[in-house]
Amino acid sequence: MKTNREKYNCIFTELFEVNESELNDRFNFGIASKWDSLAHLELITQIEDTFEIMLETDDITHFGGYENGKKILAKYGIEM
């Protein structure tokens, strides 16, 4: 059974085809390579499916990046 962090990291590494080592506070929407709006839509869908939650609009638009995303998920009871 994967931990929440492992599941979260896996979504990123597979979607953006990057190594875990690149997942940090600089890995952000609109800046990280390939993270455009289509990728963002896909990311949100995968996060919602994996963690069985429905993100609110503000949380989708404020998701921002890999690190910030963790804070948002904490609001939904997903601890890492």
Q: How far is the CB of 42 from other proteins (least distance, A)?
A: 6
Q: How far is the CB of 26 from other proteins (least distance, A)?
A: 17
Query: Contacting other proteins (CB under 8 A), which of 1, 19, 52, 58?
Result: 58
Q: What contacts 32, CB < 8 A, 6 or more positions away?
A: 16, 18, 26, 65
Q: What contacts 59, CB < 8 A, 6 or more positions away?
A: 72, 75
Q: Which of residues 11-40 bind other proteins (CB under 8 A)?
A: 17, 29-30, 34, 36-40
Q: How far is the CB of 80 from other proteins (least distance, A)?
A: 23
Two tokens, residue 61:
């638009």
